[in-house]
Amino acid sequence: MSNLVDLIIKKRDGLALSAAEIQAFITAVTEDTIADYQTSAMLMAMFLQGLTEEETVSLTQAMTHSGTVMDLSSIPGKKADKHSTGGVADTTTLILAPLVASCGVPVFKMSGRGLGFSGGTLDKLESIPGFSTSLSPEQAISLCKESGLVVMGQTKDLTPADQKLYALRDVTGTVDSIPLIVSSIMSKKIAAGADAIVLDVKCGSGAFMKDLPSAQTLARQMVQIGRSLGRRVSAVISSMAQPLGLLIGNALEVEEAISVLKGETEGDLLDVSLELGSRMLLLTDAVSSVEEGKRLLRRQIETGAGLAQLERLIAQQGADISILHHPDRLPKAQSSLAVKAPKSGYLCAMDTASIGHTSVLLGAGRVKKTDAIDYAAGIRMAVRLGDFVEEGQLLGTLYARNDGLCAQGAALFTNAFTFSEEKPTQPPLILDIIEEGTK
């Protein structure tokens, strides 16, 4: 073990580790031949001293190959994937994945569960009665070959080193390290096997990255690392100054995604979905420009092709397709509470994180990974930034399993809104685009 101690000391002293040294560390983590306190010491050294781009590439590559790497070569065509760093009412996967797949680009999506106010795609889909995400890699590949789209849960042998490192980062104050975040995200995305990856990096009060410079740094590093490891990658930095959609919560977000695919709902959720989806088409050479991609995706909504692709996904994974035309068959909350504005004025700011925390309090999210989800819980927003709101006007409706939870959520939710006498400037939705070759 002395050689690993030497590596910890080397990193502690600010020296760069070689690819072989990083591989030795990750192998020890994967095989449990290093004590947790030593792994924690290395993580803290990496956190404090940082990692060079070469070190981050080596760490990502070692973590990628610490477990199974999906081989999607039997699925015809270039495969696309998308990752979001997490936000509130961020339902884009349920919209863009069917739309992109309906254009003939296979979407092989390995997703996770929600933690905190960042909702998980698996939880949203599992709110549809019967929907199963527990697929073996072989089953998932077979379904994607057949229909062009599959969504599965992350397997235990996908980047096992990352699972162990993240558990320790969470309890040692080393989560907020951009190189460690980059290697965690990109190792999973690369191991999942797609050829092209579009990253949605959220920025603002309801995001992990609160300011634009931090979001840009994260996005640039992820794009560069992805390219270094043979993937086509681009990143969209989008605003979390307010919830992306109007519905927050698992079944509620499925309802809104269906409405968008039916062409019934416009707005920020659709706009970000089109931005991300068009770039998935561009990176897989299905279109020659983002504008062409957006036009094609809009046509897939108008013709119903995107909705039909979602129906195929729901059917192939064992769920009730009748919810597409009868969303009232999705789980419904037992209690609801209308929350009214305490004063009049222009809505000039939202504490999006507080709105997200309200949804967790209502039962729509998890504080710990072992917490149960209430699929019916959530929030139906009634206002957007820039709206003029009269005192007593509806701000939103809260849904939970009992009146007590709704009452608890109401105070937190109400305090998330800031009013002013002056009409505010509308904040931009897309803050930056980081493409291949961007420095």
Catalytic residue numbers?
83, 162, 169, 184, 188
DSSP string spanning 58-124? HHHHHHHTTS-----TTS-S--EEEEE---SS--HHHHHHHHHHHTT--EEEEE---BBTB--HHHH
Q: Measured between alpha carbons, how far is 251 from 18 in angstroms, rounded to an integer?
A: 47
Which residue type sits at 66? S
Residues 272 and 92: beta-carbon distance below 8 Å: yes
User: How far from 149 is each of 70, 88, 310, 316, 317, CA to CA, in Å?
Assistant: 15, 24, 9, 10, 11
Residues 6+ apart with CB under 8 A from 428: 239
Euclidean distance between CA atoms 77 and 145, whole angstroms: 10
Assign residue 336 a region (left: φ > 0; alpha: ψ between -120 and 50; beta: otherwise). Answer: beta
Tokens of 38: 């030593």
- Provide the 3-class DSSP secondary structure of residue 131: coil
Residue closest to 86 by CA, chosen among 122, 120, 62: 120
**Spatial distance between the Cα atoms of 212 and 271, rounded to a whole number of angstroms:** 20
From start to end of 168-277, where are the E strands?
196-203, 232-239, 247-248
Least Cα distance to 140 among 109, 101, 100 occurs for: 109
Q: Which two tokens stand for residue 439?
A: 């420095």
Contacts of 114 (CB under 8 A, 6+ apart): 120, 123, 365, 366, 373
Which residues is 417 bridged to in the sheet? 350
DSSP bridge partners of 290: none
